[in-house]
Chains A and B, each alone.
Chain A
Amino acid sequence: MSILREELGKTLLELGRTHKNVVVITGDLGKSTGVSAFEAFPERYFNLGISEQDMIGTAAGLASAGKIPIVSTYAIFLAGRAWEQIRNSVARDLLSVKMIATHSGISPSADGSSHQCFEDIALMRAIPGMTVVVPADLSEMRHTVQAAIDMTGPFYVRLGRGEIADIFEDEDDFEIGKGRQISAGPDVGIIASGPLVREAIEAEVRLRKEGINASVLDLHTVKPADSKTIIDVARETGGIVTAEDHNILGGLGSAIAELVSAQYPVPIEMVGIRDRFGESGDLRELMEIHKLTAPHIVEAAKSVMNRRGKTAGIVESQDS
């Protein structure tokens, strides 16, 4: 496992060398996010202080004049506090502002609920023209940041904190907007993003030991969602579990439910934060408390398999 902050710093440093139009802006969290590595290019690095709205507006101005600003701070402050600026100053004009949100989901752990952002995917998805990507591991992070620079328009990359998983090889196929099939099994589909991809992989192994063969799909790009692959999974498995480090309202699960209900309705169980705020604790402990781990994905998978073919009946709420 690698340290996200260091790897992000390295990635940006490489980009800074090859792309002279890239500038980096942070809100006094350069060290924490790792983007302060870009201080190697002092004239292109701006710490605008604890002013997220100003950061986004300034990025919009830079982008309007031909620069490619990367704006980075914690997800709750970036997508939360500056949401309206993103929507009004950046997105309406399809400006090429690239937002790298760190410390998303439950990853701030000990910092507690003020910092644990379970809403940013919902917020960003609702903005027209926004590309929303949740890298599952180090190589996806690197590919995504590169893709963000290469593509035009507003872009939101959602990262965590601390260690970042190592699942894929750099050379493996990666394409923005294309779901990444990790395993193909006919019994149930598991579609996951970010830190829950690793949990989904573990869940697949556990399920296989019980004779259940699951498809696992890493849907790194939540918007635009790869509807073809998602519907293929729905068709092939007949039941889907979604798994995200985010509120079950409005995030990955919702995106999939929107598509599936419209095109190929199958039962869906959502693993994620059950519309509540977080709390302080150790990361692993919190993931258990909030049912974000492999055993919970396994449980959800079995539950959704039981619901297949049943169009009526009361399904018990899993809320605790």
Chain B
Amino acid sequence: MVFVRSSTQNGLSAGLEFSRDQLQTLTEIAQQVRRDIVAMISSARSGHLGPSLSCVEILVSLYFDRMNHKPEDPTWAKRDRLVLCKGHAAPALYATLARAGYFDHENLPTLRKAGSILQGHPARGTPGVDVSTGSLGQGLSIANGMALAARLDGSDFRTYALSGDGECDEGQMWEAAMSASHLGLSNVTLVVDRNGVQSDDITERVKKKEPLDAKWRSFGWQVLEIDGHNFMQIHHSFDVAEWTTDRPTVIIARTVKGKGISFLEGDANSHNASFSEEDLDWALEDLRYS
């Protein structure tokens, strides 16, 4: 049963193109990506575990079930783009890129180390990374720029952006939101990783985001709300975004910070926790069963 709420008047056809096999494959990849994230951040002894874990399904879906791209040719002009607005989720991106074949898996333990191709926040130059991010609120503007370039060239590549919910505090997000709507950039799709927690506290105690859907809708975006850990819902929301040609779409993906590790899930302190050897074993054990 597909559950996708939308603000558009059009009915949604719950296509059944998303098969059980596909679901199985993606779930397994997500599991592996989570293990890689935990190992990577542990090896680096710093990094943003909670926010990386919450967007795994979204990234896995993008790279394995949605985007048009060629790992062996990262600068292929027709590729779909991803801007990781929430750059601190870099470990999740790197683990996904490695799985997809952009670079060797052996690089993962070098995260955040001097000379590594895996910088603490994404850097252009790492295969699969189109723009350097890390400073919140900037990525959506960049995505808009890419989408404009596509329009100017008559190219049909899509630009995806993945932001945090805390990131919606930043004024520039809303400047970009207005621009995308004004310019009718339906080739931009934003996913907001709504894990409900930001750096210091839960989002609603820092600066109320709700009603977040109404905010985006009032800025002229189509708003879809989904379970951000549900591959079928992610798949269908991306479909709807593609079918919508008069305005950009934001997918508010309700997620759990620290998803996958039972003792981290939803924990306000999981923003940049890292692990001792013991914790690491426990976390990996936990991932085996989730």
Q: Which residues of A contact B162 (CB under 8 A)?
A: none
Which of B124, B138, B148, B178 has most A Cβ within 10 Å? B148
Find chain B residues with CB under 8 A from A62 CB.
Answer: 145-146, 148-149
> Does A191 interact with chain B (Cβ within 8 Å)?
no
* Residue among B137, B138, B140 with the highest chain A CB neighbour number at 10 A: B138
Q: Are B141 and A61 in contact (CB under 8 A)?
A: yes
Interface residue B6 (Cβ < 8 Å from any Cβ of A)? no
Which B residues are in CB contact (< 8 Å) with A49?
Answer: 175, 178-179, 182
Q: What is the number of residues of chain B that contact chain A, defined by CB distance less than 8 Å?
A: 35
Q: Which residues of A contact B147 (CB under 8 A)?
A: 61
Residues on A with beta carbons closer than 8 Å to the beta carbon of B81: 65
Instruction: Determine if B149 and A89 form an interchain contact, defined as CB atoms under 8 angstroms apart.
Output: no
**Contact across chains for B148 and A89 when beta carbons are under 8 A apart:** no
Complex Cα distance A246/B179, Å?
33
Set of chain A residues within 8 Å of B267, measured between Cβ atoms: none
Interface stretch among A52-60, A106-114, A247-255? A52-60
Contact of A128 with B by CB under 8 A: no
Count A/B pairs, Cβ under 8 Å: 108
**A46 lies within 8 A of chain B by Cβ:** yes
Of the 9-residue stretches B18-26, B40-48, B128-136, which lies at the interface with chain A?
B128-136
The closest CB in chain B to the CB of A59 belongs to B145
Contact pick for A67, options B132, B139, B149, CB 8 Å:
B149
Provided the pairs A88-B134, A93-B131 are in contact, do residues A54 and B148 lie with their beta carbons within 8 angstroms? no
Say whether, besides A89-B138, A93-B124, A93-B132, A54 and B176 are in contact (CB < 8 Å): yes
- Chain A residues near B54: list those with CB within 8 A: none
Bound-state CA distance A213–B180 (Å) is 59
* A197–chain B nearest beta-carbon distance, Å: 35
- Distance (Å) between the CB of A282 and the closest chain B CB? 35
Beyond A53-B175, A61-B131, A64-B130, is A89–B142 a contact (Cβ under 8 Å)? Answer: yes
Chain A residue at minimum C-beta to C-beta distance from B157: A65
Quick one: closest B residue to A21, CB to CB? Answer: B152
Contact residues of B between 102 and 121, Cβ < 8 Å to A: none
- Expressed in whole angstroms, the minimum distance between the Cβ of B155 and any Cβ of chain A is 9
Minimum C-beta distance from A40 to chain B (A): 16
A43 at the binding interface (Cβ < 8 Å): yes
Q: Complex: how many Å from CA A180 to CA B134?
A: 40
Distance in Å: Cβ of A314 to nearest Cβ of chain B: 45
Whether B138 lies near A57 (C-beta < 8 A) is yes
Closest beta carbon of chain A to B263's beta carbon, Å: 34
Of the listed residues B131, B145, B171, the one surrounded by the most CB atoms of chain A closer than 10 A to its CB is B145
| Given A60-B141, A88-B138: A53 touches B172 (CB 8 Å cut-off) | yes
**Total chain A interface residues with beta-carbon distance under 8 A:** 29
- Chain B residue, CB-CB nearest to A60: B142
Say yes or no: B145 contacts A61, CB within 8 Å. Answer: yes
Classify the interface of chain B: helix, strand, loop or mixed.
helix
A3 at the interface (CB under 8 A from B): no
**Which residues of B sit under 8 angstroms from A58, Cβ to Cβ?**
141-142, 144-145, 148, 176, 179
Q: How far is the CB of B33 from chain A (nearest CB, A)?
A: 26
B150 at the interface (CB under 8 A from A): yes
A161 within 8 A of B: no
Cβ-defined contact, B138 with A23, below 8 A: no
Give CA–CA (A53, B149) in the complex, Å.
Answer: 18
Chain B residue nearest to A91 in the complex (CB): B132
Q: Which residues of B contact A66 (CB under 8 A)?
A: 77, 149, 153
Set of chain B residues within 8 Å of A60, measured between Cβ atoms: 131, 141-142, 145
A19 sits at the interface (CB 8 A): no
| B120 CB, min distance to chain A CBs, angstroms | 13
B143 contacts the other chain (CB 8 A)? yes
The residue that A85 contacts in the complex, of B149, B172, B178, B179, with Cβ under 8 A, is B172
Is A92 at the interface (CB under 8 A from chain B)?
yes
- Chain B residue nearest in CB terms to A43: B152
Q: How far is the CA of A64 from the CA of B143 in the complex (A)?
A: 10
Instruction: Report whether A54 and B150 are in contact in the complex, using a CB–CB cutoff of 8 Å.
Output: no
In the bound complex, what is the Cα–Cα distance between A92 and B122 (angstroms)? 11
Q: Give the nearest-CB partner of A66 in chain B.
A: B149
How far is A286 from B141 in the complex, measured between Cα atoms in Å? 38
**Contact status B138-A53, CB under 8 Å:** yes
* Docked complex Cα distance between A69 and B152 (Å): 13
Provide 6 A-B residue pairs closer than 8 Å at the C-beta atoms, listed in order of the A residue. A44-B152, A58-B144, A60-B142, A61-B83, A61-B131, A89-B142
A residues near B (Cβ < 8 Å) are 23, 43-44, 46, 48-49, 51, 53-67, 69, 84-85, 88-89, 92-93
Q: Interface residues, chain B, CB within 8 Å of chain A?
A: 77, 81, 83, 123-124, 130-132, 134-135, 137-150, 152-153, 159, 171-172, 175-176, 178-179, 182-183
Q: Which 8 A-B pairs have the closest CB atoms?
A: A61-B145, A57-B141, A65-B149, A54-B175, A51-B175, A61-B142, A58-B145, A62-B145
